[in-house]
Structures are given as structure tokens and as C-alpha cells.
Amino acid sequence: MAIRDKLERLVARMYDTPQYNSQGAVLFVDLEQRAMLKKYLPLEVLRNFLGGRGANMWLLYNLMEEEREALDPDIPLIFGSGVLTSSMPSATRGNITSKSPDSYAILDANAGDYFPSFLRCHGYDHVVLFGRSAAWTMLKISYDKAEFIDAAPYVGLNNLDMAAAIERDFDCVEREDMALARITSSGENQVLCSGIMGGVKAIWARGGGGAKMGSLKVKAIMIHGAPKDLQPVQPMAKYNKIIGKKIISTSVIKNALKMVGTPFLYKPSRVLCALGTKNNQETSWSANLDADNFDPYRPGMDGCYLCPVHCRNQNDMTPEAQAGWGASALKGLTGNASYDKEQASIEHGKQHTYNGIHDDGKYDQYDKGDGPEYVTLGKFGPMIGIKQPEQVLRLNNILNDLGLDSASTGSSIAWAMELYQRGIITAKETGGIDLTWGNYEVIEQLLFMTARREGFGGTIADSARAVERGKYPASALDYRMAVKGLFQSDPHDSRILKAFALGLSVATRGMDHLRNRVTLEINARINDDPAFKAALYHGTVSAAPNSYEGKEYAVRKCENNFAVGDSVGMCRFNTKLFNSPTLPDLNDFATQLGALTGETFVEAELDEIGRNVTGIERMLNFRFGLRAKDDTLPRRWFEEALTDGPFTGEKIDRAEFAAMKKRFYNLTGLNTEGTPAVDWHEKLSSLITGFAVRVHLPRPLPGAPEKVVIIDENVSNVTALRQALLRKLPEAASDLNDSTWNIAVNGHMVLSGETSVRIASGDHVLLVPIIVGG
């Protein structure tokens, strides 16, 4: 069924008017036919999946044909803002969702800045793009009006020039009366590790969103006009002050994030010897990249729409820079993650020494900008062999302008460098490029080549799919640090931290820490208080970071919390469990959801909604062909032990890992193939598509260990049901095509006329082997 048919069926279940206070519309945009349709989601979507990430998944599930390639125009790209986005302190976020061209899983990325808040304040919760525009286009949204704008003048522009051109042509200022989600040349060229930019640095990074948007020939979505307050704002005001105080009074926010940003994490990771270095061949690196070595180039901090934190460190290496913001902020701050308290007293006293990247007194646009975050610092520092802060800063600014995901791009380069080191690729494959570790000149050049898909840059642009696209031999996969085809997001090497390792393996979008990372596993105060830790995670979790015991409880609770956070629009850094046990939690979200929407929620309901969101994501991944075997880790972490630091010799034990993953599945309510077990699956199917039929099998089949399959396509007869079964379980095709298997519907055997036997939601169907004899 093509997407327009699916859309027709979907909008029949939607509404013409809001179903609760403050609800925004869903804007469906058919790029090929140049048509738009505005509808409102049913209340049950809010009650079971909230908005943002959760509602995006509901829309994708109903609109997607899994057999289509990710860049097919019939696979939609969905923008969604959280229910509380723009209405609560630090609730500034929104998600983009689709099928990933970069990985084998869902595409789902989260970003803040101003676009998600502007979108919601203009009356829209979601924008669904599908079809391919005949020419490059820009979607302009201004309150009740939406229109297509010719984007030909902007083709080829990168991030900074694109924003400047829009401000000039539409007489507006970004972040004042305009917000812009745009792709760069890398998205136009369908670079698989390209993202969608939402500001100078803000990026929907993971999964290849830039390539997906480029495949639809959409250069940008512009929200034009100053944001309007959502109603009712006043009932939220008093408690918003409590939430704001909770955020800014938290130690990690007040002393680290507000002063130097996320690079503060580099030192504790370095001291622990848990830094991914040279494609995770090593785990320790230079103190040159400790956060205080960036002090001379930090002029201040920036932040997202109405956020009190301002955690985004800016950088300026030019001679005119008024830098030094946050200098000495971390000195004497022992924190809880160091494992070496003496490190807190060490300050390097770094001076402003930059004189242009070639030490010739020449400067350009890449010598100042926003960032870096800890991920970029790690991926373009130790992961590729860079030691100088100035080089990291410049590469960060280039990445921002080119719209490249620093996690996947850095990992793609590191993978190539290790293959070059091992002789698996040579100068012949690289076009003469010298891929030795830390070769700054080559790395800078390679970023521009990647955005243009020029020469060996085309190989980096193919990201984790370089082998299947014929760029590397199959042996290269042994050194690919990816799960579900997505390169690792964070710079941590998780052979020590078993909760981190479990989280990366089971994360629904691939090897990504922002889905469920148990950051507090290295918090000494929590580990020293077993009762508090058990209450925090709703189960007993070992205090030892390298133990496997109980880590499933911690990952499960983080996964629920963070899924809810994304669905209400809350920043991960300011959500309970990511950085602190005292940050805003599900109870805080419930209070403000009630004040804004008029719908009552309690903590237990939101916790279950978080599980629902990951449940639907697993159902989507199952449709893409992912199974339990894909919840794993890179070979290196199982087979190669750490060689440095306090946890020398540590690696992941396969048997212990398998047992831990099994416990996680049981706790979550998953079957042995990693998808929701039958009862939960049936419930979710009814909530998502409004249709669920149980098909009972005579024996377990590949992909169906419980001998039951839930069909959630709205099939009309037995023949259509058989076809749906084959789509659901392609690995069991030989069994399902067995001509000796008959079908019984609600206890009645169907012996002929299968096209005329109707199927309805709630039916029970039994596949019955024919018994013959004579």
C-alpha cells in the first residue's frame, strides 16, 4: 500500500480540531503533488505515547512500508516537538524520525535551539514530509499559512551562509522572528552521516537525516514570525519556577555545564582510561584536551529557547577575542566521577597561542563558532589522534558549517585510519591521501571532500555502509565500531562500564548513549548508598562499574525516563538520571502536562509510556529485519582486553553479556527476539494502528519464538492475512508457504474461498497442519 493510501486511512482516524488544551496540528506535506493537509492526533496518542519522539513513532508506524529503501520518497520524514516544548524550563527539544539511510534501524534524532519551540508556538506539533519535490524547495510556515518557496537560490549553501541568506531575503533574524531547519551541501549530496541543522551548532545528527531530507529535495523548513505563547501558560508559571530552580541549583549544572559545557567530561573519562582512542584500539589520551585548555578561547556560553542553563560553550580563536569565560571553573571541584581526586587541583594554565591554523597570522570563518560538545571533542580528538585544542575547535566549526554528524563522521574517519594502519586499504584506495593518525591537514581536507562526495570523501560519506557499498573488503567489518549499523555516539569505551555496554547494545536507534546511558554508574555517592541506588532504579544494581549484576534495572529505568523526556521535549542534560538524581523527573513532567493539557498523568503512567515508546521502536526495527542478534556490541569489546588504567584487562564476557541482555529482555517485556511479547505487542498494535489479530502457529518459527504473531495491518480477508504474515516473518517464508497448512478463524476452518473470509481486529487465527492418511 503506497503512502497516500496509508495517509488516507490514517487521517480517517484523526480530527479537524484540537483534542486537548494546547494541542498543535500535524501538517502533512506531499512534496510531489504540492499539497498540504492539517489534522490533529487522537487523544489516545497523548495518553499512550505523548508527543515529540513518541508521537513521531506512531505516525511513522502507520505511514511506512518497510520494504522500501530509506531514501525512497514514500518513506516519510517527520518533525515533531514535545508536548511541553516552549512551555517549561529546558523543554526546548524536538525529534526528526524516519527510516535511517545510515544504519539498519530507525532514524530518530533530537535537537533544540529555537526551531522546535517556534514550530509549536506557530500551532504545529508535527510536520510530515513525503514525496519528492520536482525541484529544490523550502517549506515556509507562518502561523496558519504554509507555502512552498523556490529554494534554487540556496542550493549549495552551507549552514552559516544559508541562515544569512534567509535573513537577508525575508527581512528576519534567526532566533528572534525566524527559525530554520536546513540541510547543507552534505545533505544535498546525500552524505549518510549528514544531519539537519537547526542553528549555528544545533543539529539533528544521528542516522542520516540530512541525506533523507536531501532525497526529498527539501532545502529547509522556515518558521517565520515571532513565537506566540501557548495557552494555558499561567497555571504553569509557579511550578516552572520550582523546576527552573531545581535545574540551576544542581551541582553539575551550576558548576560545570553553565561554565564550560560538556567538555568537562573529558578529564574523568581520561583518568578512568575509558576514552575511545584510535578507533578504540586504545583507551587513554592526552591531558591537552582537558576542558580548562579550552578556557583561553571561550568568550561565553549560549543556549536554547528560554533555557536557564546556557550550556553551549562558544569559541573564538581570533586576536580580537574577549575569551576566558569559565576559566578555573573546575579547579577544586572533585565531583563524583574522577577516580583520582587529585586531578581536581590540576589546572594546565593554557595560554592563547593560536596564530591561524598554519601559524601565519591568517584567520577565516572557521576560527570562531559554537562548541564543541564532549562528543565532538572525543571523536575529533583521541578517536582520530588529534591532541591540540585549537585543531579540535577548528574541526568542530567546520563540521557545524558542513552539517556533518561529528559522531558518525569521526568514527567513519577513525575506521578508515585503522584500516589504513593495518594495510586493509592503501594509498590506492584513498587516492593518495595519507590516513595516519592525527594528520590534521588531511582530516580538514577530508571533511570538505566528504560533504562534496569527492574522491575518498565519498567513502567517508558512505559511513558505516562502506563495505556493503563496495568501498572496503568484508574483513573491514571486524574494525567497525557500530551496532545496528550506527557508529557509536559517545567517546566512552564501555568495556569497563557494563551498564553503558548493555545500553549501547539494546539502544533502539543503534550504538547511541543518549537512548539510555546510565551516567550515574560512575557517581561515587550513589554507589556508596545501595538503598538509594535501588530506589533510583527500581531494582538492586551492583555498585561496581565493571559488574554485570543488576545493570538491566538501571538501563531500563534510564530508557523509560529518556523516552518520556524526548516526548515532552525536555533536554537530556536536565533530565533526572542523565547527570544527576535531583534533576526534573517524571512527577515534574506529570504536573506540567496536567497544567498545560488538562489531562491528568501520574509517575507510573509516564514510566509505562516511556516503555511504550521503546516498544513501538522495537516493533519498527523488527519490520526492518532487526532481531535479538542485532542487540550486540563490536567484536573488539568482546575479544580485546584493555591495556591501560585502573581496569587493565577488562573486556566484555560473552556469556555474562548474554545473561544480562536476557534479564533486560525479561524486565522490559520482550520475547527472545527482542520485540514486545505477545500481550504487550497486541496492546501496542491496537493503540498504534487500531487493528490487531493473533495468529497462532503450530510451532515456533524464525522470528516468532512464542508461536504467536500479531498482525497489525488492517487486512480484510484471509488471503491478505497470509501476505501480511510473509511480510512480518520473511525468514519463515518456507514454512508459511507450506500448502499443507490450513487456516482457522475464530475456531472455524477455512477450506475454500479465502478471499471471501473476512478478518476483523480481535480475531484469533490458527495455522493448522493438515493431517492426511489412508
> Grid coordinates representing 353?
597561542
Q: How far is CA 677 from the centre of its chain?
A: 24
Neighbours of 408 (CB within 10 A): 31
Contact of 686 with 692, CB cutoff 8 Å: yes
Instruction: Give every CB contact of residue 773 below 8 A, 6+ residues apart in sequence.
Output: none
Instruction: Kindly give the residue spans of alpha helices, DSSP state H, lying in 669-751.
Output: 678-689, 718-728, 733-736
pLDDT at 340: 67
* Pairing mode, strands 94-99 and 137-142: unpaired
Cβ proximity of 667 and 506 under 8 Å: no
The pTM of the full predicted model, rounded to 2 decimals, is 0.97
Residue linked to cell 551548532: 201
Asked if 378 and 490 touch (Cβ cutoff 8 Å), the reply is yes
Peptide bond into 232 cis (omega under 30): yes
Spatial contact of 109 and 206, defined as CB atoms under 8 Å apart: yes
d(CA 302, CA 174): 14
Angle CA 109–230–572, to nearest 5: 30
CA-CA distance, 127 to 25, in Å (whole number)?
8
Half-sphere exposure of 163 (CA within 13 A, CB side): 23
**Which amino acid belongs to residue 195?**
G
Query: Closest Cα to residue 276, out of 449, 497, 532?
Result: 497
pLDDT tens digits, 720-762: 999 999 999 999 999 999 888 999 999 999 988 999 999 999 9
DSSP state of 450: H
Residue identified by cell 593554557 is 350
Cell of 694: 493473533
- The grid cell for 647 is 581496569
pLDDT value at position 774? 45
pLDDT in tens, 228-266: 887 666 789 999 999 999 999 999 999 999 999 999 999
pLDDT at 232: 66
Looking at residue 322, what is its pLDDT?
92
503 in Cβ contact with 516 (< 8 Å): yes
As a whole number of Å, the CA-based R_g of the chain is: 26
Pairwise CA distance, residues 338 & 272, whole Å:
7
Secondary structure of 35-95 in HEC code, one letter for each residue = EEEEEECCHHHHHHHCCHHHHHHHHHHHHCCCCCCCCCCCCCEEEEECCCCCCCCCECCEE
Q: Are 745 and 713 in contact (CB under 8 A)?
A: no
From CA 302, how far away is CA 285, in angstroms rounded?
28
Residue 33: phi and psi, rounded to 5, are: -95, 0
Burial of 225 (C-beta count, 10 Å sphere; 0-12/13-18/19+): middle
CA dist list (Å): 380 to 19, 37, 45, 345, 683 = 47, 43, 40, 26, 44
Burial of 450 (0-12, 13-18, 19+ CB in 10 A): buried
**Distance between alpha carbon 171 and the CA centroid of its chain, in Å?**
33
Q: Which run of H or of E encompasses 498?
A: helix 498-506
pLDDT at 333: 76
- pLDDT score of 533: 96
**Sheet containing 145-150: which strands, arranged edge to edge?**
145-150, 137-142, 218-224, 178-182, 196-197, 203-204
pLDDT less than 50: residues of the chain = 774
- Between the alpha carbon of residue 121 and those of residues 27, 91, 305, 711, the distances in Å are 14, 13, 12, 38
